[in-house]
């Protein structure tokens, strides 16, 4: 299995619903997003997928959230805007844009700060 990784980031505000502490108040993060794409096969050019395509499609999703108050953006108007839910959101949404044949998003890691992160994946990495 080849696993490619791209990293990007965005800034947004959120407040956690039903959170027993100061994270229930409005505050912001510079989120870092790592998208891992895997495949067992290479194409004729010896690549899985162009890094540029992964970056481009990830940025399409980032644009929806960048410089926004996440609690007002679908689906986080209903779904708590936790790192866990953001990781699954990127996994699903970037996957919808780039998954084809054996080439699939394998995992997404969201860094909320430089000290804490969540990884969402389905199946083996």
Ligand X SMILES: Nc1nc2c(c(=O)[nH]1)N=C([C@H](O)[C@H](O)COP(=O)(O)OP(=O)(O)OP(=O)(O)O)CN2
58 SS3 class: helix
Give the span between the Cα atoms of 1 and 10, in whole angstroms: 29
- Write each residue from 24 to 63 as x if it is in contact with ligand X (CB under 6 A), else as -, in one continuous string: ---x------------------------------------
- Write each residue from 68 to 107 as x if it is in contact with ligand X (CB under 6 A), else as -, in one continuous string: --------------xxx-----------------------
Give the span between the Cα atoms of 81 and 14, in whole angstroms: 7
List the one residue out of 49, 10, 55, 57 whose CA is nearest residue 29: 10
Whether 112 is catalytic = yes
User: Among residues 8 and 117, whose Cβ is nearest to ligand X?
Assistant: 117
Map tokens 């986080």 to a residue: 76
Map tokens 């790592």 to a residue: 34
* 2 marked as part of a ligand binding site: no
Map tokens 């108050």 to a residue: 69
* 29 marked as part of a ligand binding site: yes
User: Among residues 22 and 124, whose Cβ is nearest to ligand X?
Assistant: 22
Residue ranges in contact with ligand X by CB under 6 A: 16, 23, 27, 82-84, 112-113, 115-116
């Amino acid at each position: 299995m080849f696993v490619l990784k791209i990293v990007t980031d965005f800034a947004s505000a959120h407040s956690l619903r039903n959170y027993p502490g100061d994270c229930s108040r409005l505050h912001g993060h510079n989120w870092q997003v790592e998208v891992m794409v895997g495949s067992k096969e290479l194409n004729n050019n010896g690549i899985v997928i162009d890094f540029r395509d992964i970056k481009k499609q990830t940025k399409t999703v980032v644009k929806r959230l960048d410089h926004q108050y996440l609690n007002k953006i679908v689906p986080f108007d209903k779904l708590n805007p936790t790192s866990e839910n953001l990781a699954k959101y990127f996994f699903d949404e970037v996957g919808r844009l780039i998954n084809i044949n054996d080439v699939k998003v394998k995992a997404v890691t969201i860094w909320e700060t430089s000290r804490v992160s969540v990884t969402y994946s389905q199946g083996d990495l």
